[in-house]
Structure 1
Amino acid sequence: MTKQNLAVFLLSFGILLLDKELVRAQNTVPDTLKKYILTPPPPETPKINGASIFGVRAGSAFLYTIPATGLRPMQFGAEKLPKGLNVDRASGRITGRVMERGEYKVTLTAKNALGESKRIFRIVVGDKIALTPPMGWNSWNCWGDAVSQDKVLSSAKAMVEKGLVNYGWQYINIDDGWQALRGGKYNAVQPNIKFPDMKGLSDEIHRMGLKIGIYSGPWVGTYAGHVGAYADNADGTYNWVKKGKHNEFYRFVDPEKKEKHGVNYHHGRYSFVKNDVQQWMDWGMDYLKYDWNPNDVYHVKEMMDALRSQNRDVVYSLSNSAPYGDATQWEKLANSWRTTGDIRDTWDRMCQLGFNQTKWAPFSGPGHWVDPDMLVVGMVGWGPKLHYTRLTANEQYTHISLWCLLSSPLLIGCDMAQLDAFTISLLTNNEVIDVNQDPLGKFGMAVAESGETVVYAKPLEDGSMAVGMFNRGKKTEKITVTWKMLGLRGQQTVRDLWRQKDVEQSEEGFASDVEQHGVRLIKIYPGNSRMQAISGK
């Protein structure tokens, strides 16, 4: 073993020991939260979950894992798959490539010893991907710059082992902190010693039926002080690196403490966007978070063109605080865009971000989603010291309900390996997820507001309506919705989505007491059903 390899081994071993000690020290999940669980456990009979529509570009690599709960072993099927696709009956993974454009109506099946579940699934081969909001995990809100290959792989394994993959969660995204210097086949950014085998990591995540994402930005340096997609010099070198202003992970550090890494928050003279994209394609990346402020059309389009030049579908997510004046551009150029600065696990910050998205409504829809930032449930901390979210149980229900009504990307920000029963219940309610993943892709809007209470409504594809009754105040309030307020006709059934049960039938409306900082998330059906709308009755 060389001296360099020995140093890497000892450093990695030290990081691993530190990680284990931090987990033991910070594992303070409140047991009392178990009593607030509303989501019923899934039945042992098969149930297919997740989105009912999937977009892919002709010729792109296809990977979709049929999300289904129920007793294992389970056998999967997919009837009338388009030419070029095959399903693995044991794992439910659909892979291959479709060359012919069009919309294909497929019947997914999941069967175990107790029964069988079927679901219509539309595969749309065209120009759009991300026809429903992306669902996955991102490393920043738990590990921050302390992210490592082991931590990412741990989260991927937890997504499978704790059952989230069975509800449509699929992306495992590496945020800032993976980068070293340029090099390799394309003179692209290479991973630092925390990521000894990026291709191997990507392959292993794909073998789990999941997808993987990467992080970059069009500055000379990223927010956390690592190498960006632009460089100071034509050969891809960086002046701050030449001056030795970095640590062993190639993060900007000034030994004299005269400068912070923000000194590199600017676009360099030389673009290496195409180089980096080629490297990501070789690794097999499926998602890109592209981060700087303010976002500008030139650099957004430059990256979009580079991604689209490759024969691989990559969800393209902009961050952060996208200027509203360019909203018509973001919906054309990106699959999602952050409308805000970073979220924190406080009631005030979550409300500030979540309840102020209405102006973006006209620009959100299938293929292009408004993003008020990641979810702050579970063990968070921005690395490496973690703590349990400071949001109360009520506030967490509000957080998830609002993000689903807004058709926001759902990106888990906690340490997946430490998911507790309450957090799992928040993230595995298939009826709540269905609100977010509805194929119509409408943006939930405030339809009534009084004092600290507000009612959001979101039309769904089948004619029904998802409604969130939010109490932002400090005392319990009675909130009422009427069918007239929502523009609904005739007798309606009210379904409590968190509890997954019908609670009332009415010809006029629904009322409920809602606790402080809480929500009542309901679905009203049949709504103005398709048949009713065209029959004149």
Structure 2
Amino acid sequence: MRILSLFLLLLLLACGDGRDTASADVATPSSPSADTTFRAWAATPPLGWNSWDSYGPTVREDEVKANADYMAANLKEFGWEYVVVDIRWFVENTKRHGYNQTDPIYVLDEYGRYLPATNRFPSAADGNGFTALADYVHEKGLKFGIHLMRGVPTEAVERKLPILGADGITADQIYTTDEQCQWLRDNYTIVADQPGAQEYYNSIMDLYASWGVDFIKIDDLSAPIYHKEEIELIRKAIDQTGRAMVLSTSPGPTPVEYAEHVSNHANMWRMVNDVWDNWGDIDNLMSVTEGWYDYIGGGTWPDCDMIPLGRLSIRGERGDDRMANLSQDEQYTLMSLFTIFRSPLFFGGDLPSNDDFTNSLLTNEAVLKMHAEATGVRLLLLEDDRMAITSRHPTDGTVYLALFNRSDEAETQVQVSLEELGLLGSVAVTDLWTGESLGEATTTFGRTFGPHASGLYQLGTAN
């Protein structure tokens, strides 16, 4: 597997990694020993579903299967492939609208490693873990992922459970209460240079690899403190399993000053805290992306967060059961931003509840082609309430352009120079969302948009 992964990485680099030359220089390994084989595991931005926006910490096995079934039947052909069980799958008595931190019942093995709660995941009985559920997902041609918190379980520390692979060392010897997660108290911080620390992370990654896990989202790594040492422990632990498991760090905002480090250790990382179905979160994200364009591509991806569309909060953390509280214009804007920026795309709504409009946002082949294949993503305009982002297809020269009106009230014209896009003479313009030909443009191209509206376009040589 290591040889195959290295071959894929070399092929990826030979074809170009999606960065400008200056960006590629920035993202070189931070030390001669840095292993970047993992970059081949997500050569294009990953696409999938995550249970958080719909079910918070309460998702059940039957609900995961229903979403996997829907993805296989309706979205797999468009590149959607990951099915991710989010937070607290190891707690028996979870709740909606937050977390039960009063009397949580954790499920752990004898080495202090979390196991799925069998009252929610029946196939995990008899120590089976997520093996059966991962097999179910894999049989549909999809990939399986899980969420966990950084650190060592507080219960493992209190019970002084032994660490597998670290003779005589117990969980109470590798922890500190310093920098414990402020919003969820399940785990303690691991002291990275303590004997047994690497072995503990190795032991949990070995377990997850044995279950068939393909994707791991690890929380509380980025903010309010960037946990550099634990990220390095995690990178080494995943690599030593020999299994390709995409690593997603969460939540944001990941500090831009650690961009080089995170891009040398993770496949994707959050730029902001949770994005929900309100305009303020989208508008904030537009501003935050400004610092991350140099780090898009080459198997590592700045992450805009999950897509909070469709049916949300069936038993969620934020609000009650609802269809997304965004207008159609705002939903197009969100998807145009996520796709031209080449963020990983993880849908947060309950897939079986999707309506035709929601599905149209996830299955537009021209938009997904741009998302998967475009290179040289850059911010072209960011002033007042106007924003423009561009990219280019690396083989046919097609230029992509997204224009945004961020104003809350006013209609606004957003216009760019074709010369600044590297285009001369007349160009043919196509609306990527509708496929409609918009005629030709010369010198400049622009449109007038209502509040929170946008456009996504393909510009090519006129006939």
Q: What's the TM-score bracket when you normalise by the shorter of the two chains?
A: 0.7 to 0.9
1:441-467 deviation line (CA, Å, top 9, x unaligned): x3341x224532222212321322111
**How far has the Cα of 1:365 moved from its partner?**
1.4
CA distance in 2, matches of 1:363, 1:227: 38
Any conservation in 1 of the 2:47–2:80 contact (CA below 8 Å)? Answer: yes
Other structure's SS at 1:309 match: helix
Determine if the alignment matches structure 1 residue 266 to structure 2 residue 188. yes
Aligned equivalent of 1:468, options 396, 402, 406: 402
Structural mapping, 1:45-444, within 5 Å: 57-59=2-4, 103=11, 128-161=40-73, 163-179=74-90, 180-183=106-109, 188-193=113-118, 194-197=120-123, 198-220=130-152, 233-235=160-162, 262-264=184-186, 266-268=188-190, 271=197, 272-292=200-220, 293=223, 294-321=225-252, 322-381=254-313, 383-384=315-316, 385-438=320-373, 440=375, 442-444=376-378
Matches of 1:100 and 1:433 in 2, distance apart? 22
Structure 2 contact 370–393 (Cα < 8 Å) conserved = yes
Q: Which amino acid aligns with 2:386?
A: T
1:140, 1:382 within 8 Å by CA — same for their partners in 2? no
Query: How many residues of Structure 1 are paired with residues of Structure 2 in the alignment?
Result: 386
Q: Name the CA shift for 1:453/1:227 in 2 (closer, same or farther; >3 Å).
A: farther
2:439 to 492, 504, 507: 504
User: Which segments of structure 1 move beyond 3 Å, counting only runs of 4 or more?
Assistant: 98-104, 236-239, 260-266, 268-271
Distance 1:227 1:357, change over 3 A: farther
Q: 1:261 to 1:183 in 2, by over 3 A?
A: same
Compute the displacement of 1:195 (Å).
1.5
User: What CA distance in whole angstroms lies between the structure 1 residues aligned with 2:38 and 2:186?
Assistant: 39
* Match in the other structure for 2:16: none
Please tell me the residue identity of whatever aligns with 2:86: D
Q: 1:423 Cα deviation (Å)?
A: 0.3
Secondary structure at the counterpart of residue 357 of structure 1: helix
Report deviation, 1:437: 0.8
Quickly say closer, same or farther: Cα 1:456–1:439, change in 2 above 3 A: closer
- Provide closer, same or farther for how the CA distance between residues 341 and 265 of structure 1 changes in structure 2, counting only shifts above 3 A: farther
Q: Distance in 2 between matches of 1:206 and 1:383?
A: 26
TM-score after normalising by structure 1: 0.67
Report the residue type matching 2:289 in the other structure. Answer: Q
Is the contact made by 1:288 and 1:316 (CA closer than 8 Å) also made in structure 2?
yes
Larger Rg: 1
| Equivalent pair of 2:38/2:244 in contact (CA under 8 Å) | no
Shift of 1:430: 0.9
Provide the C-alpha distance between the structure 2 equivalents of 1:227 and 1:396, rounded to a whole number of angstroms.
Answer: 42
One-letter amino acid of the counterpart of residue 285, structure 1: V
Q: Determine which structure has the larger strand proportion and give its number.
A: 1
| Aligned partners of 1:295 and 1:319 also within 8 Å | no
Asked if residue 457 in structure 1 is aligned to residue 390 in structure 2, the reply is: yes
How far has the Cα of 1:158 moved from its partner? 1.0
The AA in structure 2 aligned to 1:448 is L
Is there any run of 5+ residues in structure 1 with no aligned partner, and where?
Answer: 1-55, 61-97, 105-124, 240-259, 528-537
Structure 1 counterpart SS, 2:430: strand
Q: Is the 8 A contact 1:331 1:364 kept in 2?
A: no
| 2-structure distance, mates of 1:231, 1:210 | 38
Q: Bigger shift: 365-374 or 485-494?
A: 485-494
Task: Compare the two structures and name the one with the higher helix fraction.
Answer: 2
Deviation at 1:491, TM superposition (A): 2.2
